[in-house]
A and B are shown apart, each in its own frame.
Chain A
Amino acid sequence: MTQITARGWGWRHSGRRAWALRGVDLDVGSGERVLLLGPSGAGKSTLLAAVAGLLDPGSDGNGEQEGTLLLDGVPADRARTAGVRAGRARTGLLLQDPEAQTVLARCGDDVAFGLENHAVPPEEIWPRVDGALDAVGLGVGRDHPTARLSGGQRQRLALAGVLALRPEILLMDEPTSMLDPDAGEQLAALVGALLSDTRATCLLVEHRVAMWLDLVDRVVVLEPGGGVVADGPSSEVLEQQGAALAARGVWVPGHLPTGPARRDSGVVGEVLLRAENLQVSRRGTTEPVLSGVDLDVVSGRATALVGPNGSGKSTLALALSGLARHTGGDLVAQPPLLGEDTRLAAEPERWRPRDLVRRIGSVFQDPRHQFVASTVSDELAVGPRRIGLPESEVAARTDDLLERLRLVHLARANPFTLSGGEQRRVSVATALATRPRLLVLDEPTFGQDARTWAELVALLAGLLDDGAALVTATHDGALVDALADDVLTLRSAAAMTGAAG
């Protein structure tokens, strides 16, 4: 008896012109483990939300539906409400953003939340909570505040919340894309163990295929605005469709993108920024998270800041970009960076914003933090206008950047409506608009698909060849291999330098 049955199913979100999916025909049996693949925007999250019964096609709902999607013969949304009323969840959903799934302030309460909603008798709730917390190996007590959990721990907590409900179908929407690689691997191993124990059906959406391949037995490929393009055992589908998928941005093992060859211009770079015995602390605290950092930022060279979670990579990156004060040591901008302005202080943190944007460009981990205008082309024009360029020059630079980053068709769009990859390109473009000599990036490849990754790396390599200096704080080993000339490995309260090839 198949558990999930879709016949000609389609969905269009309200507020969107295009259909997310159309004509999906799918059968998933009990206990099967399916990996859903497809380029960004292929409606994979929509399908998961539909199976979870969260899409409401009614007049007051969030979109329009075509065809049928049944769970054991019952429409998915009715299955969800029936499950809640019966006290037994049909599906459990694990989302991408660890922060967005935490509901309550204490770990035990958060796991108990789902049980309370399903009207589980109070005397059963806490034993199940404890059992779920043990099963995911979270290692903290019931009263531990959720605010103090790391990303990986939060995903485990969310998983505990889902498991406590003992669902028949486990749905996971890119659960590791916002975690660092180690935490991601641990989560994948945990899910594997749990699925073997509970024999639940699993529908998984993921970009990073490699770490999940052992877990799944079937791969289904979806098409944006269309239906199922391929469906079969994992090895078969990946062999047939591997190249096509990789071209559309999926991280297919064996078709992984690599960076372009770096042009060795033979020119010795100039030192732009010098850090000596630098000490930085997190905002609002006095205790240093890093100390004794010695670093020369040289034009034409890329420095990667690597280290485990909490080692202070982002804090150091903020200090280097003049956005945060350092609490000890020296951070001095050298003449090539200072330019002709003789009144400028030596430390970037004391520069006025206008002087800063001309010299150092910053790219944040979440591109949406940096949006200040209502259209993409206005966004690109903000920087040049702030430094006082004439309108003709502003327009020229804007057009050039739109071309280089393939954003021309999005020039009049609101930045918030763009996809993740497009938003990343816009945020990099805005940092480049003022032609700074130093570019500081915080996790630029976070959560990006393979295609955007390749484009970004090519762009950054081009910038390096043109003489800019780059500093990136990153977890991404592939990025470090592709670009970094120097690697600074950080451990808390200390730093070691190493040169990389």
Chain B
Amino acid sequence: MLVALWHFAVDRRWVAAGIIPSPAQVLQSWYIWIFGSSKAMLSPYSGTWVDNVIYSTRRVLQGFGLAALVAIPLGLIIGWSRLAARLIDPTVQLLRPVPITAWLPFAIAVFGIYDASALFLIGLGAFYPIVVNTTHGVRDTNLLLLRAARMLGADTVTILAKVVFPSALPSIFTGLRLGIGVAWTAVIVAEMIAVKSGLGYVLWDAYYVGRMDICVATMFSVGLLGFLSDRVIVWAGRLVLRWRTLEAHA
């Protein structure tokens, strides 16, 4: 429906001609962008889609992976220890409202126009939802399960690994889903300014040279990738949390 509306809006000149491309134009440019020969040089974008998708996806996965690697253990500690919460949590909560875009100049000043800048921004963006949800999940752990583990002889490390962590997993997966969403937002912002490759870079570059068709194709590409990565996490979550679906049916 949206596509039809879009088609007619362009076709009937409801919107300024030449600025907004038609769906057919976008599809065609997208096709060339993906499958075009890079040697033909008819369009500078021809055949570069896969490379740029790989650049962006790699950054997202690296930044997101890094964020998860730091945020999950940190969330476990903050949720578990009142002392750690008092030491770490205020800092996290104070920095959390600072938008990723506001970190851009800082990131470039520290890391330069390199991948590290992008990874920092993506990682930071994904970090907050993961740490907050992990903390929440840990605090929700049933006291009775903790007592059961203790009377069965588990020490604190075992309890964290074998009881608190699995019990917090549903919340952790919520955090991961939110985190991957932020990661895709962050990668576009970072690539627009902090590096010279990837979908975000193409988006900004295409805008500058007036290739709105490529801009729109990029938007769809990012949307699709974001959707797919979210599905992957949901699917992984279902796999890991099979016991929970059993509970829901009981």
Chain B binds chain A = no
